Amino acid sequence: MNVHAQSNALMLKKTDGTDQSVAFTKLKKITFSGANLVLNYQTDPNESVSLASIRKMIFGTYTAVDQITIDNKDLFIYPNPSTDFIHVKTGIIAKSKIAIYSLSGILVMSVTLSPSDDKIDVRGLQTGMYILKLENQAFKFTKL
């Protein structure tokens, strides 16, 4: 799993529910033309985005996860989203070391679960999305 974090970017939250991230390093400049936002790229052709299609523009950092794969079909995390606790069913008989990372790649929690105790207290985590890592597998979950 490759996690890219803390890169300065423009995030466009669109009215159709989609998001578009543009790294500032790819932009030459940002301008407005009539009812459009114009993204002038360093190497690519300019892109024009209708202002009516943009719900929110965020100038700051973004985080992206290239790929999350789960090879073990016995890994289940529930409830997802969660407010207080998540249960992790691994199908592994031995103790399991679990690491939870924020989407910015920071380790926020590390726990060891036994097969008889699959519950993780997430009440101390801030609202947001997290990556739970178990051995070479990763799973995304949301804390409300």
If we measure between CA atoms, which residue out of 92, 126, 131, 91 comes closest to residue 110?
131
- Which pLDDT tens digit goes with each residue over 38-92? 999 988 899 999 888 988 887 765 455 544 444 444 677 889 889 999 988 877 7
| CATH no. for 3-65 | 2.30.30
Does pTM surpass 0.75?
Answer: no
Nearest to 41 by CA among 65, 58, 20: 20
Percent of the chain with pLDDT over 90: 18
The CATH code that applies to domain 76-143 is 2.60.40.3080
Q: Can 3-65 and 76-143 be said to share one CATH topology?
A: no
Q: What is the domain partition of the chain in residue ranges?
A: 3-65, 76-143
